[in-house]
Structure 1
Amino acid sequence: MSEADRIREVLMQIARGKSDGCTFCPSEAARRLSDEWRTLMPRVRELAAELMEEGKLVCTQRGEPAHPLTTHGAIRLAEAR
């Protein structure tokens, strides 16, 4: 399995494991994948953006729609419903 596939899988596992309306920080996925999780964050955001564009995830910042690649600061992800 490629790194990208593994990141996508972990993002979706976390999203599916949350209750309706619950969000998670992308760092939660990065932390599951590596002790050096900070280095993974750009790739995690990139793949979260792809999943968002595929209609599988939603991204917010302070409760408002956001985009993982163009939003600076903390974002939250959730499974698209």
Structure 2
Amino acid sequence: MTTPIQDTILSQLAAVAPGKSIDPMSVAKAIQPERWQRLLGHIRTDVIELARQGQIVILRHNKPADPETFRGVYRLRLRQDGDPTSFEKVADEGGDEGGED
């Protein structure tokens, strides 16, 4: 079962050309035009859930991002063939050894 936010996300993604993405702000504004900023945290939560389910992809710098660790500005698109289904955990594994900068 999906939430109203998830329904709006999936509806907006279905309306764009394959491979195109949407901005989470457009989802918020579609749901609550006057106070859309208040929805952004809820949208992020639902975006993460949809990405975990494999229905959508979270994009950072136009590349798929790990739904568990992404930060900052992001966009959304429907999953495509070739999109990763898992992400390597690289943060803080291996300590400070071999410090390449």
Please tell me the TM-score bracket, short chain as reference.
0.7 to 0.9
| Further displaced range: 29-38 or 67-76 | 67-76
TM-score between both structures, scaled by the size of structure 2: 0.70
1:66 aligns to what? 65
Go from structure 1 to structure 2 and tell me whether the alpha carbon gap of 1:14 and 1:6 turns closer, same or farther (over 3 Å shift): same
| Further displaced range: 20-29 or 61-70 | 61-70
Greater share of residues in helix: 1
Alignment partner of 1:55 is 2:54: yes
Q: Give the unaligned 5+ runs of structure 2.
A: 81-101
**Contact in 2 for aligned 1:46/1:69 (Cα 8 Å):** no
Go from structure 1 to structure 2 and tell me whether the alpha carbon gap of 1:67 and 1:36 turns closer, same or farther (over 3 Å shift): farther
RMSD of equivalent CA atoms: 1.6
Specify the structure having the higher radius of gyration (Cα). Answer: 2
Q: Give the unaligned 5+ runs of structure 1.
A: none
**Contact in 2 for aligned 1:60/1:66 (Cα 8 Å):** yes
2:4 aligns to what? 6
* Aligned counterparts of 2:6 and 2:66: Cα–Cα separation in 1: 16
Structure 1 stretches of at least 4 aligned residues deviating more than 3 Å after TM superposition:
67-70
2:18 aligns to what? 20
Higher RCO (C-alpha under 8 Å, 6+ residues apart)? 1
* Aligned counterparts of 1:32 and 1:58: Cα–Cα separation in 2: 20
Question: Percent of aligned pairs with the same residue?
Answer: 23
